[in-house]
């Protein structure tokens, strides 16, 4: 994408190019390798090896904790307001190059306090970076705050309170982290989100089975499920996801790397779509998985026989599930509905 619209006029003016949406993208997993290296040098952070080796996961399957550990090198340099603004801004630039017209970034603000930043300061910096990127590219953005399964419940409540107090610039609340740790203890934090009118997405059904998805729905009130691919093993759950229009945020390359699927050819995205489940496609962590949204769609075409009709379905599902006010969501749906997918 060589020519961005340098305007904030909205989705309808976005260069007339084919539009895509990304709903599941972790900021700390999507920091450019050269940026990590430069920030480390500027901050005097000593790294234990080459940045690419530390930050990018191998193509072979890993455990989920091993995959998550690849963000550690980025986190080590994302502890200042300037670094947070820069990395958020650059993510929006990367979305623009990838044909994304609306992207939702998610991050756990509690992981960025090593140098004394407060949670409000951290949120300010990331929000400013996203806004600067949006002004420069025309890409519209949303921001999701993540609670973490290993954290004390009190920490999750603080994050939920931060989200609720900033509902004008926070799009929703998420629960991330090792799925072997139950989600239910964090229910109080998610009640705060619901009371503030914030929608909820929860990582589930990635490395754990269908029961983790049920817990996300029943205990935390999730409207979307991060990944959710293991739901395919339970027909009753698949029927429920279709009936209740619960959207799955699948990330094919990441799903392979975390062991959520045995191979890309076995990815259940098309099977779930055929059953009526709203399925979307995202990158999860652009740097860790070494991918773009364009790459993910190319992988699906090569491995699953993904078609233009499948792409259209996934993009419309993403627009319908976007954590946006109703009027902006309708604009996004109209924008996508008017274009062709090949």
Q: How confident is the model at residue 339 (pLDDT cuts 50, 70, 90)?
A: confident
> What residues act catalytically?
206
Q: How confident is the model at residue 342 (pLDDT cuts 50, 70, 90)?
A: low
pLDDT at 61 > cutoff 80: yes
Torsion of CA 175, 177, 182, 183, to 10 degrees: 0
Range of the domain at 316: 23-335
Q: 122: closest CA among 69, 77, 83?
A: 83
Residue 190 lies in a domain: yes
pLDDT at 269 > cutoff 50: yes
pLDDT at 6: 39
pLDDT at 246 > cutoff 60: yes
DSSP-assigned letter for residue 333: H
pLDDT at 47: 95
Residue with the bigger pLDDT between 159 and 339: it is 159
Residue 289 lies in a domain: yes
Q: How confident is the model at residue 5 (pLDDT cuts 50, 70, 90)?
A: very low
H runs (alpha helix) in 138-262: 153-165, 187-195, 210-220, 235-243, 252-257
Strands 200-204 and 224-227: parallel
Q: Give this prediction's pTM.
A: 0.94
Residue 17 lies in a domain: no
Kindly report, residue by residue over 79-112, the tens digit of the pLDDT.
999 999 999 999 999 999 999 999 999 999 999 9
Kindly report, residue by residue over 278-297, the tens digit of the pLDDT.
999 999 999 999 999 999 99
pLDDT at 11: 40
Side-chain half-sphere exposure of 194, counting CA atoms within 13 A: 12
Residue 297 lies in a domain: yes
Kindly report, residue by residue over 211-221, the tens digit of the pLDDT.
999 999 999 99
pLDDT at 336: 87
CATH number (domain holding residue 283): 3.20.20.140
Question: Coil, strand, or helix at residue 142?
Answer: strand
The continuous run of DSSP H or E covering 123 comes out as: helix 119-137
- Averaged pLDDT score across all residues of the chain: 93
Residue 288 lies in a domain: yes
pLDDT at 12: 38
Contacts of 15 (CB under 8 A, 6+ apart): 1, 3, 4, 5, 138
pLDDT at 38 > cutoff 70: yes
Residue 43 lies in a domain: yes
Residue 285 lies in a domain: yes
Report how many domains make up the chain. Answer: 1
Residue 6 lies in a domain: no
């Amino acid at each position: 994408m060589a020519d961005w619209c340098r305007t904030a006029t909205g989705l309808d003016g976005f260069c007339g190019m084919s539009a895509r949406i990304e709903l599941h993208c972790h900021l700390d997993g999507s920091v450019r390798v050269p940026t990590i290296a430069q920030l480390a040098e500027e901050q005097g952070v000593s790294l234990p090896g080459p940045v690419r080796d530390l930050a990018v996961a191998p193509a072979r399957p890993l455990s989920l904790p091993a995959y998550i550990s690849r963000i550690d090198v980025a986190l080590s340099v994302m502890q200042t307001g300037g670094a947070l603004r820069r990395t958020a801004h650059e993510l929006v630039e990367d979305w623009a190059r990838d044909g994304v017209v609306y992207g939702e970034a998610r991050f756990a603000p509690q992981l960025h306090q090593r140098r004394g930043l407060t949670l409000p300061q951290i949120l300010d910096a990331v929000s400013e970076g996203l806004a600067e990127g949006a002004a420069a590219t025309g890409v519209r953005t949303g921001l999701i705050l993540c609670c973490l399964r290993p954290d004390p419940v009190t920490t999750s409540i603080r994050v939920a309170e931060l989200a609720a107090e900033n509902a004008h610039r926070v799009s929703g609340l998420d629960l991330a982290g090792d799925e072997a740790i139950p989600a239910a203890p964090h229910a109080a934090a998610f009640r705060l989100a619901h009371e503030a009118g914030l929608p909820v997405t929860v990582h589930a059904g990635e490395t754990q089975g269908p029961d983790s998805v049920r817990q996300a729905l029943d205990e935390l009130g999730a409207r979307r499920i991060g990944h959710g691919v293991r739901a395919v093993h339970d027909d009753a759950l698949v029927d429920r996801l279709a009936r209740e229009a619960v959207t799955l945020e699948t990330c094919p390359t990441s799903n392979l790397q975390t062991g959520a699927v045995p191979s890309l050819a076995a990815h259940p995205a098309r099977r779930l779509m055929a059953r009526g489940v709203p399925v979307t496609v995202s990158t999860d962590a652009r740097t860790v998985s070494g991918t773009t949204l364009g790459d993910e769609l190319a992988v699906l075409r090569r491995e699953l026989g993904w078609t233009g009709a499948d792409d259209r379905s996934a993009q419309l599902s993403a627009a319908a599930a976007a954590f946006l006010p109703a009027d902006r969501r309708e604009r996004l749906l109209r924008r996508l509905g008017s274009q062709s997918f090949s």
